[in-house]
Amino acid sequence: MINSQKARLLGFNLVLMTLLAFAWVGGTADAQVTGTPPIFFTTQQYQTSQARNQLEPGSLASCTVPNVTITHSPGYVVPTTAPQTIFANLSVTPHAVCNDGSQAGFLFRRGYGAASTRWVIYLDEGGQCSSQAECAQRQATQPVADLSDTAFVNGSKKPSPLAGILSPNPALNPDFYDANLVQVLYCSSDEWMGEKDGNAAMTSAQILASDNSNNWYFDGHAIVQAVIQMLQQNYGLNNASDVLFTGGSAGAYGVFMNANYVSGLLPLQTRFAALADSAYSPSNFPDYDPATGGQAPLPDVLVTNMVQGQTYWNSVGDFDCAWASNQAGNGFNNVACDAPDVLSQNGTYRIPLFIRSSYQDHYILGQYGITTPITAEEKPYVANFANAMEQSLNSTNTWLSVFGLDTTTHTMIKSLDLTNTTYTFPNATPSTLAAAIGVWYRNPCAAPRWIQAPPS
């Protein structure tokens, strides 16, 4: 990429970083969306989060999370039965519902032996919609299970086999195969961010038959809160020695938006770390313009979707950022709190965070207007985007870990055999993703990084 192109890309990102940072702490009206305060955040939860991190939002500090030794007990046998499927009790957690108002649910498999106090909590993937037109298309083209858990509740549908970091097979998942597993089923279409109830006068069937997403529930944030509450009250999460909070695609976005919140819900003695797979991209990067083969005028699709999602889902983004924005007089609905790259770079995350990302992610590029396969006309744009991705990942806080690949792969940690693919890096030893996660999880404060070079 020539220097003028690099300067342009850097300029776009610096402009957004400056706007959003000032909107967060200083009150810039142009970058802040007015909205209602969150209905699930509490002062106690915020203060607990601050006690855990011992910092005010936005400040940087050295990582002090203790190292951990991952051990396994003899006698383990790979289970042949599926994990238990558990659904929310709506009399206790009434907002933990899917788009159609049906009970949200999760899969649960108990840990074994030495790993009985280790937990992996995974937020499922599945896209999103944030307008009537988008949600109508989603309902017409996606499985009903993306909007409803009814098929799981009545037993007519079973979750897909567990793989990758969710696998109970030590050959495929050497570090976490015997940990307590929680896989939260995704059915809220809001990237685990929403706090908006639907039409309570309609049944689930009536909501879906109405073809009107204004009747839908977008309660992804409430589902996260409810699952953590259920695990604490009934399944021993409060006795956890360490927790890995993770997800892919929309689930990764949910990790970026909920990691600080979930951390604040857990006991202070619980070692907490987060892993986001495939939801990171440079904010304010221009969309592709097929008419010119170059970059379209701003605003780009990412920022547009952030603002649109805040309105349609009543979302507030990252918990600590939203609270700090409100304390600064800007309200809870601040677009800065929805941008994973901004949150990663400005010190919002004071927990170990591992970011897995592909510079030419076909799904993310599709949001910007790039086709699959990439055409010759699109290649210069994609090269610029890949360079911007690599630069952005390299600029995150130095104690955050990164596994950045110059590939088109979208999610990896759930769908691929983590032990089979070895990647090479210019400034790190070759590694599989599974090995890299293990190295980071054992000693996150060393902030190991595996970053490939972007295309020349």
CA nearest neighbour of 313 among 227, 247, 225, 216: 216
Task: Calculate mean pLDDT across residues 31-60.
Answer: 52
Starting at the edge strand found earlier in the chain, the sheet holding 180-184 runs 84-87, 105-109, 180-184, 118-123, 242-248, 271-277, 353-358, 401-405, 449-451
3-class DSSP state of 307: helix
Distance CA 270, CA 248 (A): 23
Q: Which two tokens stand for residue 315?
A: 């979302």
Indicate if the pLDDT at residue 60 is higher than 60.
no
Which tens digits make up the pLDDT trace of 342-356?
999 888 888 899 999
**In this prediction, what percent of the chain has a pLDDT beyond 70?**
86
Give the pLDDT confidence score for residue 34 in this predicted structure.
Answer: 44
Q: How many CB atoms lie within 10 A of CB 358?
A: 25
Q: How many CB atoms lie within 10 A of CB 198?
A: 20
Indicate if the pLDDT at residue 38 is higher than 70.
no
For residue 436, the Cα-to-chain-centroid distance in whole angstroms is 19
Range of lowest pLDDT (31-45, 72-86, 310-324, 357-371): 31-45
| pLDDT-based confidence at residue 305 (cuts at 50, 70, 90) | confident
Indicate if the pLDDT at residue 333 is higher than 50.
yes
- Between 64 and 392, whose confidence is greater? 392
Give the pLDDT confidence score for residue 334 in this predicted structure.
Answer: 86
Indicate if the pLDDT at residue 398 is higher than 70.
yes
Task: Calculate mean pLDDT across residues 234-252.
Answer: 97
Distance CA 154, CA 157 (A): 8
Mean pLDDT of the chain: 86
Consecutive H or E run containing 51: helix 43-53
Half-sphere exposure (CA, 13 Å, Cβ side) for 54?
Answer: 6
- Report whether 418 contacts 432 (CB < 8 A): yes
Which tens digits make up the pLDDT trace of 265-300?
888 889 999 999 999 999 889 999 999 999 999 888
Backbone angles phi, psi at 64, to 5 degrees: -125, 15
Task: Calculate mean pLDDT across residues 178-197.
Answer: 95
Give the pLDDT confidence score for residue 56 in this predicted structure.
Answer: 42
Backbone conformation region of residue 429, classed left if phi is above 0, alpha if psi is from -120 to 50, else beta: beta
- Report whether 113 contacts 160 (CB < 8 A): no
Which tens digits make up the pLDDT trace of 128-167?
999 999 999 999 998 888 999 998 888 877 777 788 999 9
Residue 296, exposed/middle/buried by CB under 10 A (0-12, 13-18, 19+)?
middle
Give the pLDDT confidence score for residue 42 in this predicted structure.
Answer: 62
Q: What is the pTM of this model?
A: 0.90
Give the pLDDT confidence score for residue 332 in this predicted structure.
Answer: 80
| pLDDT-based confidence at residue 47 (cuts at 50, 70, 90) | low
Indicate if the pLDDT at residue 428 is higher than 60.
yes
Half-sphere exposure (CA, 13 Å, Cβ side) for 262?
Answer: 33
Give the pLDDT confidence score for residue 153 in this predicted structure.
Answer: 87
